[in-house]
Amino acid sequence: MKVTCHCGNIQITASYTPNEVANCNCSICRRYSASWAYYSPKDVEVLFTKEKSVFYIWGDEEVEFHRCNLCGCITHYITTPKCDKEITAINMRMAECSILDNIPVRKIDGAIY
């Protein structure tokens, strides 16, 4: 499965299509309006054509939220060594509708964060 940001600079390939996506209502996910698919980092490849992604990190600094520096789309997040899990999450809003529309959505109540 492959997704891209709007301008095509950031290209993400995952070794399989997710069974579900997660919509979280925490302070950052609700602002990004992201739909996350969680992967082991080894199952995901992130490439760029013009500029590498830039990221935002906050709070306990366990997660880097990456975006395209050209078109601004939030493409993925990765966990940092401060996190006890290794996760790469793809923002499935970058996927074509034909993919995203067929994946069930799970709501996560992360609002305490």
Cα distances (angstroms) measured from residue 16 to each of 90, 94, 109, 113: 12, 15, 26, 29
CB–CB of 89/21 below 8 Å? no
**Which CB, 7 or 99, lies closer to Zn ion?**
7
71 makes contact with Zn ion (CB under 5 A): yes
| Window 1-30: residues binding Zn ion (CB under 5 A) | 5, 7, 9
- The distance of closest approach from Cβ of residue 55 to Zn ion in the complex, given in angstroms and rounded to an integer, is 14
Tokens of 55: 């990221």
Name residues whose C-beta falls within 8 Å of residue 63's C-beta, 6 or more positions apart in sequence: 57, 77, 78, 79, 80, 83
Nearer to Zn ion, 70 or 89 (CB): 70
CB of 6 to Zn ion, least distance (A): 5
By CB under 5 A, tell whether 70 contacts Zn ion.
yes
Residue ranges that bind Zn ion, judged by CB under 5 A: 5, 7, 9, 68, 70-71
